[in-house]
């Protein structure tokens, strides 16, 4: 009798487990189906007038271009192709940012033809066939220049404007220094200077923040995993970096408290990526941060204040006062040292790492009144 009871229980448990698996598989299939429908057709919408008619002379496209032998994708958005061209070099490494405009519209397409290029190995430009050996800072600078020339020729412009954010500012400022004749101006947003030092300042800021707010659990985690002045950074620190920064309001945006709720989940709602492209967004992020080729590590230890000391074009730094992803104090110090014919530093009092998403109206005003005129009347100093 006891044996029968055990067998009966085992059969019942097996049926429950099997049914659970079936339910989970069904849920996954439903979720994939919903995402597939939601992602169709995976194209940007045109700019239209009040009657729904596409604006003459506007552009709204997703395109792929051979850049230094690699098929690379970009979104090009503008209400008038006669406007100046603005190339946006995104952060990461490996994290395109155009899809964030669904939640944080910038309004830049009203005044520029904005090119949201997705870099080698990232987003639209991810491919499992891409060689890790090509993922070098030097290659990214070369790619930036090649994209610039493509845009100049396509839109018939002698020069374009270069806006670079976070990791993008690491390669963008080097491209501007190498080929100044291609650009009217360089705009660094959340400008990198010496990232390994930035991690130290972020750590100290966060320790003080969490102590003041009584979050002793986070204080203990931070104290157990301080950043070093050498690379690679300790794995324990790296694993908690996004968590502690967003929790302290010094991450992507001031109000973004989690990478999961602020970045990962919203990315699946973006309708201008196909489902495969959404998957590649995160595959590319993982690939681009892989330590097999140390792209992240090299950026950490490079001191741009020593490497790029002068630009021959106007330079504008846009920085959130709460930005410790690329520490605000270091950006100000770099700005003071950097030589350029025209300079402007602009502090965003309500922003962390992404002023163009957090205070877009102020960014627009700076671009229109200072950058496009080659002046610095609105600068902090």
Tens digits of residue pLDDT in 257-282: 999 999 999 999 999 999 999 999 99
Residue 313 has a pLDDT of 98
**Domain chopping of the chain, boundaries:** 1-38, 59-195+266-371
Residue 10 falls in which region: left (phi positive, over 0), alpha (psi -120 to 50) or beta: alpha
3-state secondary structure of 168: helix
Q: Under a CB-based contact definition with an 8 Å cutoff, are residues 170 and 302 in contact?
A: yes
> Tokens 């397409």 — which residue?
109
Q: Under a CB-based contact definition with an 8 Å cutoff, are residues 148 and 157 in contact?
A: no
Give every residue of the chain whose pLDDT is below 70, as ranges: 1-41, 291-293, 381
**CATH class name, domain 59-195+266-371:** alpha beta
Full strand arrangement of the beta sheet holding 113-117:
59-67, 70-78, 113-117, 85-89, 160-165, 183-189, 315-320, 343-348
Token reading at 80: 């008038």
Residue 151 has a pLDDT of 98
Name residue 194's beta-bridge partners: 303
Distance, in Å, from the CA atom of 283 to the CA atom of 288, rounded to the nearest integer, reads 9
The two beta strands, 70-78 and 59-67, are antiparallel
Distance, in Å, from the CA atom of 379 to the CA atom of 370, rounded to the nearest integer, reads 9
Reported pTM: 0.91
């Amino acid at each position: 009798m006891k044996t029968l009871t055990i067998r009966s229980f085992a059969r019942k448990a097996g049926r429950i487990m099997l049914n659970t698996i079936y339910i989970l598989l069904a849920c996954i299939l439903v979720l994939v189906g919903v995402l597939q429908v939601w992602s169709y057709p995976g194209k940007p919408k045109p700019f239209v007038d009040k009657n729904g008619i596409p604006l003459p002379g506007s552009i709204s496209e997703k395109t792929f271009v051979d850049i230094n032998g690699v098929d690379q994708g970009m979104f090009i958005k503008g209400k008038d192709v006669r406007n100046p061209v603005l190339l946006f070099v995104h952060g990461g490494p490996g994290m395109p940012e155009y899809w964030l405009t669904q939640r944080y519209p910038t309004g830049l397409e009203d005044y520029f033809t904005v090119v949201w290029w997705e870099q080698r190995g990232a987003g639209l430009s991810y491919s499992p066939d891409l060689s890790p050996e090509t993922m070098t800072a030097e290659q990214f600078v070369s790619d930036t220049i090649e994209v610039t020339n493509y845009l100049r020729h396509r839109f018939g412009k002698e020069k374009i404007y270069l806006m670079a954010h976070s990791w993008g500012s690491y390669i963008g400022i080097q491209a501007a220094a190498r080929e100044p004749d291609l650009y009217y101006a360089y705009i660094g947003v959340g400008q990198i200077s010496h990232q390994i030092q930035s991690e130290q300042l972020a750590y100290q800021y966060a320790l003080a923040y969490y102590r003041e707010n009584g979050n002793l659990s986070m204080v203990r985690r931070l104290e157990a995993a301080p950043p070093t002045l050498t690379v690679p950074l300790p794995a324990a620190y790296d694993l908690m970096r996004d968590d502690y920064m967003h929790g302290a309001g010094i991450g992507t945006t001031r109000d973004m408290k989690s990478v999961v709720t602020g970045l990962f989940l919203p990315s699946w709602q973006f309708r201008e990526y196909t489902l495969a492209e959404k998957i590649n967004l995160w595959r590319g992020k993982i690939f681009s941060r892989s330590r097999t080729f140390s792209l992240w590590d090299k950026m950490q230890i490079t001191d741009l204040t020593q490497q790029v000391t002068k630009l021959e074009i106007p330079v504008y730094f846009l920085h959130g006062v709460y930005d410790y992803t690329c520490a605000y104090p270091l950006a100000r110090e770099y700005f003071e040292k950097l030589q350029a014919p025209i300079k402007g530093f602009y502090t965003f009092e309500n922003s962390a790492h992404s002023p163009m998403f957090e205070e877009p109206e102020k960014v627009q005003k700076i671009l229109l009144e200072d950058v496009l005129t080659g002046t610095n009347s609105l600068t902090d100093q």
